[in-house]
Structure 1
Amino acid sequence: MVVVVPVQWLLKEFNFIKTSVLFGICNLSIVPMRLLASDASEMVNQVVFGEHFEVLEKDKKWSKIRLAFDSYEGFIDNKQYEEISREVYQQLSTEKKNYAGNLIDFITDDRNNLTTIPLGAHLPFYDQNSFKINTTTFLYDGKVCNEILPKPAIIEKAYLFLNVPYLWGGKTPFGIDCSGFTQTVYKLCGHNLLRDAKQQASQGEVLSFIEESEPGDLAFFDNEEGNITHVGIIMNDYNIIHAHGKVRIDKLDHSGIYNVDTQQHSHKLRVIKKMV
């Protein structure tokens, strides 16, 4: 028997309220986004410094948010973001994007507080080594990524993550999953991908054969049920860089990924796609 529970009852039961459209921005290095409103719930994504979002629902401890960058939804702790106005949200959504370009870097605010930020952190309203979140000005003198780079740069950025440990829901040099890896690498090169491998597989142009692919194209892999569960970046000479245990380089053939350590195939090839 299937019991249908009204959404209004669920919101009341967990003390959630529909917001009158609130907006927020991440003012911490890395914030976990969870599947459910609980510290014990699995982390499905991360919100990195400077990312802005819409607040869909809110209770005393948790907010359900939708990221502006890729529309991904999940729950974050209310203590781990700062509210912004609708006007600022819209300005951030249309301004030129600037991202931190070093594996790890430091910023200082106008009270000399020090904060670490990871590769790919957003730098809102960046201008001449400074940027702002509401009334707080931050100083940053590190490398900035803010251009659409040629396709070979995708491989160059991918190498920055080599040997980073795998982390479900992760998208930073401290831990990353397969689609977080491809999304972040493409973002640093000025291209937008959706968050999950299955979502990314809905983008781009299908290529019929591996021989048609170029370094920087994406290869997608499915499980026994036919669901796309993995993605990696194609390199030269039938190699692929992907997050599996860690960000690693393996061989790619018509069957899938051939693990150079175990000497076995680890993933079954489903489709190859050209994104840029």
Structure 2
Amino acid sequence: MTSFDPRLTPARPDVAAESLRDQIPAERYVVGALRRVTAAAAPLWSKPDAATMASELLYGEGFLVYDQADGLAWGQSTRDDYVGYLPASMLAEAAEPTHWLSATASHRYAAPDLKRPPLHPLYFGSLLAIVDAAPVKGFLPLADGGWVPVRHVRPLGEWLADPLDAAERFLGAPYLWGGRTAAGIDCSGLVQMPLLACGRRTLRDSDMQAATVGEALAEGAPLRRGDIVFFPGHVGIMADERRLLHANASSMAVTIDPLEEVIAIVRREKPDAWLRARRL
């Protein structure tokens, strides 16, 4: 049987996506039911024990549900194809997004009034269904009944131009394994979210990105601003020719550090660690 990556393939012994019927054996095959995230961010776990967060889905992102049990929905993200379990209570049928959150962070309000307590935060890259493009007191109405500041959103297709500029918004954000927001982000999230904001569909984990993002550079090639640099289990973006912007466990934050220092830290634990780079 052909091997497959369980992070990207919605298949278990008991259930699999209908599209995999002739490829992977399973007890039953299901057409996924499209739902969207209704919380600011929903944790996505690779296993139902919820021991380690593999990723998270943001407000408005789509999730194809193939199975649901014990309060968990199992399925696949429609934005980056990641497979896992998340709380079913954080999903609902929802309108198709029309806009995205271009501010680093914002809030969803119950009314177009900045003095009202917000319902919950919204984070950079969240997907929004706007029902009327005419602002009311500086807010736009959402299809789910909430409101969002007009200055914090852009229509889908109106993307940012520079991934590094987008990534630098996260400077100082805390490190969080599996995180994708300014409240907590990991190394591959810091690469994925800016690229999504620039209209580039990007997979979630660093090994996936190392195989698909941009074009590979020859070993030892001079690096420049915006190049993506990969180590075993780590990734960052060159802030210039010598410094790396990365979410890292050493500082437990997003920092800019000399690349040579990062290489030295990595090689203390992995003396033979390689460095590879790709250019957008």
Q: Find the residue that maps to 1:24 and give its secondary structure.
A: strand
In structure 2, the CA distance between the partners of 1:68 and 1:127, relative to structure 1 (3 Å rule), is farther
Q: Where do 1:41-120 residues align within 5 Å? A: 41-84=51-94, 92=97, 98-109=99-110, 114-120=119-125
Larger strand fraction of residues? 1
163-172 vs 53-62, which deviates more? 53-62
1:156 positional shift: 1.6
Letter in 2 for 1:240: L
Q: 2:151 matched to which residue of 1?
A: 142
Aligned: 1:8 with 2:14? yes
Letter in 1 for 2:278: K
Take 2:89 and 2:208, find their aligned partners in 1: how far apart are those partners? 30
Structure 2 residue runs without a partner (length 5+): 1-11, 16-26
Q: 2:48 matched to which residue of 1?
A: 37
Aligned: 1:185 with 2:194? yes
Q: 2:231 matched to which residue of 1?
A: 221
Take 2:124 and 2:237, find their aligned partners in 1: how far apart are those partners? 18
Q: Find the residue that maps to 1:115 and give its secondary structure.
A: strand
CA deviations 1:109-166 (Å, max 9, x no partner) are 4698733212221123575253544x6454432322553443xx22222221111111
Q: 2:172 matched to which residue of 1?
A: 163
Q: Where do 1:170-209 residues align within 5 Å? A: 170-203=179-212, 204-209=214-219
CA deviations 1:153-185 (Å, max 9, x no partner) are 222222211111111110101111100111012
CA deviations 1:26-71 (Å, max 9, x no partner) are 1111111112223x42111111111112112112411112111110
TM-score norm. by structure 1 comes to 0.75
1:258 positional shift: 4.7
TM-score norm. by structure 2 comes to 0.74
Q: Find the residue that maps to 2:32 and give its secondary structure.
A: strand
Aligned: 1:272 with 2:277? yes
Aligned: 1:246 with 2:260? no
Q: 2:38 matched to which residue of 1?
A: 27
1:214 positional shift: 3.0
Q: Answer whether contact 2:66 2:74 (CA < 8 A) is retained.
A: yes
Q: 2:20 matched to which residue of 1?
A: none
* Same amino acid, percent of matched pairs: 25
Letter in 1 for 2:186: D
Take 1:158 and 1:139, find their aligned partners in 2: how far apart are those partners? 23
Take 2:123 and 2:268, find their aligned partners in 1: how far apart are those partners? 33
